[in-house]
Amino acid sequence: MNKNTEAENPYATPTHSSEIERERAKLNPLNWKLPFFATGFIGFLCLILCLILVTFGFSSDIMGFAVIFSLLSIPLATVVYGAFVVWLTIQRIRTGTNTLIITLFQLFVLGIMPLSFFVLWGVVFIAAWSVPPRGINGG
């Protein structure tokens, strides 16, 4: 058969030149999920600290524990998140899927993590200081 006698199949899927050249690499879903998990971790940490303070009271020992715990956990979480962001960015550059918006989004969360925690933690401290201390007899 030559080209003149071949019939075109009307049901065949068309092939585009962009599909033939290369398949576009897919973006790893962790690039979008990680910033949301990091932001959720801040809220979860504040919730846990508030529950500890409400459950065990606002004594100086518990407040000291809460301050030390928060001052150790937030820098650690920020460093771990930053390491993941660098690793994911290197992976995106290698696969050719790096975009400005995903990089800015991850860097925005990296900057907002400690700031949002300390703002929320400041609200907890203000609430703790506004509670009048109880005496020995509870009054």
Q: What confidence category does residue 16 fall into, taking pLDDT thresholds of 50, 70 and 90? A: low
Span 85-94, pLDDT tens digits: 999 999 999 9
pLDDT score recorded for residue 87 = 94
Residue ranges covered by each domain of the chain? 28-129
Measure the CA–CA gap between 57 and 41, rounded to whole angstroms: 23
Q: CA separation (Å) from 53 to 73, 100, 101, 138?
A: 17, 41, 39, 17
CB 110 within 8 A of CB 82: yes
Q: What is the mean pLDDT of the chain?
A: 77
pTM for this entry: 0.64
Radius of gyration of the chain measured on its C-alpha atoms: 27
pLDDT of 11 over the 80 cut: no
Does the pLDDT at position 19 exceed 60? no
- At residue 58, the pLDDT reads 67
Q: Per-residue confidence at 17, pLDDT binned at 50, 70, 90?
A: low
* Interior/surface letters 73-93, b for 16+ CB within 10 angstroms, e for the rest: bbeebbeebeebbeebbeebe
Q: In this structure, are residues 88 and 30 in contact, taking their beta carbons and an 8 Å threshold?
A: yes
Contact criterion met (CB below 8 Å) for 22 and 82: no
Residue pLDDT, tens place only, 23-49: 667 778 888 898 888 888 887 887 887
Write the CB contacts of 122 (distance below 8 Å, at least 6 apart in sequence): none
**pLDDT above 50 for 21:** no
pLDDT of 133 reads 59
How far, in Å, CA of 21 to CA of 85, rounded? 30
Provide mean pLDDT across the span 58-70.
74
